[in-house]
């Protein structure tokens, strides 16, 4: 029997307890042994909830109980979550987590402890919620090199951009709706400024490239400056604006970014809308792959956590290592990355249009009757070249790279 402790009885933690109970027979058949939750740790009380029987407020009860072989962390954050998971591993207990912030910041250290102690530290739910992506990356895609991972990894911002695109609404307006529906937090910065997606792509890139990619090195831009006018121009050009988290290997250089980008209709991520997430993976042997599904939500995310529980229970006598080499991978400056760019001028007469077209190597401009100024797509050039040219045009009010 595997006895587990769930740390945190919020949305995901309660989902984990629910699935472990509801799917008990299935899990027993899969693992060959019963998995039972001996404790749930939370600061709160839950009067009337069956969890009351096993609820504890002191982590030391779990840590000092030799019967507990697995700690399931669903608290979030990098404070107590880090302290508890590290202590559990050091005490010889396996661990799994749904917490991307914990994995992005302390993954290398926690993985090293797990390996040293022949334990498991798994985190399938930390990226893409219910979408299987971490295990495929470290176990199914090992017969070749991954050359690109590009994901819509944040459901809240994808919901907002979809609403702006389809309903012609303003950023502030769709943010309020996302908050009312419980997708965006009262302080929405982690989502709308791209920090959530940044941590997720750092984890995926580290696994895919086999070397630690530090989220703090990833250039991150959110969606806060995307306007109704940008959406209207993009729509007119047949393009869709998405928040993309991306890591690409080109000529031996590794580029990573989180940024709004324009997608053409043929791109596999073009149709991913609403709160859904998707991850596009390009491999030199596999070609293009797509992983799509619910990137958040109680049961989809909890099911990924429980899949880790099953994996750990089946491999409780050995370390299945999902990680990377700890030596930090140096990312190349994005000024060297080549792209086309969507550029919008807030104002301009025929002379400015002519100068802009010449400077950016473009033949076609888009003018919308309802919007002042004009917009166009540049020729392909490095970001550095774009920035040099753009310095001569103070009328530029928006630039968004086009995804290739």
Whole-number minimum distance, CB 220 to ligand HSE, in Å? Answer: 15
Whole-number minimum distance, CB 183 to ligand HSE, in Å? Answer: 6
The CA-atom distances, in angstroms, between 195 and each of 198, 260, 343, 356, 368 are 5, 13, 24, 33, 33
E-only strand ranges, 31-104: 35-41, 55-56, 68-73, 94-97
Write the CB contacts of 345 (distance below 8 Å, at least 6 apart in sequence). Answer: 352, 353, 356, 373, 374, 375, 393, 395, 396, 397
Q: Return the structure tokens found at 94.
A: 């396996």
Whole-number minimum distance, CB 303 to ligand HSE, in Å? Answer: 14
200 noted as active-site residue = yes
> Does residue 154 bind ligand HSE (CB under 6 A)?
yes
115-134 residues near ligand HSE, rule: CB under 6 A: 129
The whole-angstrom separation of Cα 18 and Cα 16 is: 5
The single residue of 100, 163, 200, 389 carrying the catalytic annotation is 200
Based on CB atoms, which residue is closest to ligand HSE, 42 or 191?
A: 191
Interior angle at CA 133, CA 8 and CA 308, nearest 5:
40
Q: Is 211 exposed, middle or buried (0-12, 13-18, 19+ CB in 10 A)?
A: middle
Among the listed ranges 28-36, 113-121, 148-156, 219-227, the one in contact with ligand HSE (CB under 6 A) is 148-156
Among the listed ranges 42-50, 135-143, 151-159, 238-246, the one in contact with ligand HSE (CB under 6 A) is 151-159
Among the listed ranges 154-162, 284-292, 303-311, 377-385, the one in contact with ligand HSE (CB under 6 A) is 154-162
Sign of CA dihedral 331, 336, 342, 343: positive
> Does residue 230 bind ligand HSE (CB under 6 A)?
no
| Antiparallel, parallel or unpaired: β 146-152 and 276-283 | antiparallel
Residue entry with tokens 């987590």 = 97
Based on CB atoms, which residue is closest to ligand HSE, 165 or 371?
A: 165
Among the listed ranges 26-34, 150-158, 236-244, 382-390, the one in contact with ligand HSE (CB under 6 A) is 150-158
Tell me what percent of the chain is helix, strand and coil, each rounded to the nearest 5: 40, 25, 35
Residue of 151, 222, 283, 295 that binds ligand HSE (CB under 6 A): 295
Residue of 76, 130, 155, 260 that binds ligand HSE (CB under 6 A): 155
Based on CB atoms, which residue is closest to ligand HSE, 40 or 275?
A: 275
Residue of 19, 88, 146, 296 that binds ligand HSE (CB under 6 A): 296
Based on CB atoms, which residue is closest to ligand HSE, 191 or 311?
A: 191
Q: Return the structure tokens found at 117.
A: 């102690």
Whole-number minimum distance, CB 224 to ligand HSE, in Å? Answer: 15
> Does residue 97 bind ligand HSE (CB under 6 A)?
no
Q: Return the structure tokens found at 319.
A: 């370390």
Q: Do 340 and 377 contact (CB within 8 A), yes or no?
A: yes
Based on CB atoms, which residue is closest to ligand HSE, 155 or 260?
A: 155
Write the CB contacts of 85 (distance below 8 Å, at least 6 apart in sequence). Answer: 71, 73, 95, 97, 102, 106, 110, 121
Based on CB atoms, which residue is closest to ligand HSE, 76 or 401?
A: 76
51-90 residues near ligand HSE, rule: CB under 6 A: none
Residue of 99, 150, 156, 259 that binds ligand HSE (CB under 6 A): 156
In the bound state, the residue with its beta carbon closest to ligand HSE is: 156
Residue entry with tokens 């950023």 = 171
Based on CB atoms, which residue is closest to ligand HSE, 16 or 232?
A: 16
Comparing C-alpha atoms, which of 266, 264, 267, 262 is closest to residue 343? 262
Positions touching ligand HSE (CB under 6 A) are 129, 154-156, 183, 191, 196, 295-296
Residues identified as active-site? 200
């Amino acid at each position: 029997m595997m006895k587990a402790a769930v740390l945190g009885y919020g949305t995901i933690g309660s989902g984990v307890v629910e699935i472990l109970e509801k799917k008990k027979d299935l899990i027993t058949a899969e693992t060959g042994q019963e998995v039972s939750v001996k404790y749930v740790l939370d600061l709160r009380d839950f009067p009337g909830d069956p969890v009351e029987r096993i609820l504890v407020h002191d982590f030391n009860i779990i840590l000092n109980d030799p019967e507990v072989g697995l700690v399931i962390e669903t608290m979030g954050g990098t404070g107590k979550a880090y302290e508890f998971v590290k202590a559990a591993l050091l005490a010889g207990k396996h661990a799994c987590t749904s917490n991307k912030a914990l994995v992005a910041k302390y993954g290398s250290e926690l993985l090293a402890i797990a390996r040293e102690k022949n334990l498991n530290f798994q985190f399938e739910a930390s990226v893409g919620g219910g979408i299987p992506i971490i295990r495929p990356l470290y176990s199914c895609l090992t017969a070749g090199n991954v050359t690109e991972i590009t994901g819509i990894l944040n459901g809240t911002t994808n919901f907002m951009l979809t609403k702006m695109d389809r309903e012609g609404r303003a950023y502030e307006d769709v943010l309020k709706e996302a908050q009312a529906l419980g997708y965006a937090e009262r302080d929405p910065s982690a989502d709308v400024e791209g920090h959530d997606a940044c941590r997720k792509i750092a984890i995926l890139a580290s696994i895919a490239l086999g070397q630690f990619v530090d989220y703090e090195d990833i250039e991150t831009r959110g969606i806060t400056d995307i306007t109704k006018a940008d959406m209207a121009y993009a729509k007119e050009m047949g393009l869709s604006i998405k928040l993309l988290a991306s890591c690409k290997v080109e000529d031996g250089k590794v580029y990573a970014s989180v940024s709004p980008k324009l997608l053409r209709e043929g791109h596999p991520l073009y149709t991913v809308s609403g709160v859904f997430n998707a991850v596009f993976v390009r491999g030199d042997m596999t070609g293009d792959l797509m992983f799509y599904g619910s990137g958040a939500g109680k049961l989809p995310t909890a099911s990924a956590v429980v899949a880790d529980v099953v994996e750990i229970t089946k491999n409780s006598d050995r370390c299945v290592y999902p990680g990377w080499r700890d030596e930090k991978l140096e990312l190349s400056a994005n000024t060297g990355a080549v792209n086309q760019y969507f550029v919008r001028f807030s104002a301009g007469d025929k002379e400015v249009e002519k100068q802009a077209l010449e400077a950016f190597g473009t033949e076609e401009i888009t003018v919308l009757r309802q919007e002042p100024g004009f917009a166009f797509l540049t020729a392909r050039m490095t970001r550095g070249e774009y920035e040099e040219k753009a310095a001569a045009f103070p009328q530029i009010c928006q630039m968004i790279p086009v995804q290739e």
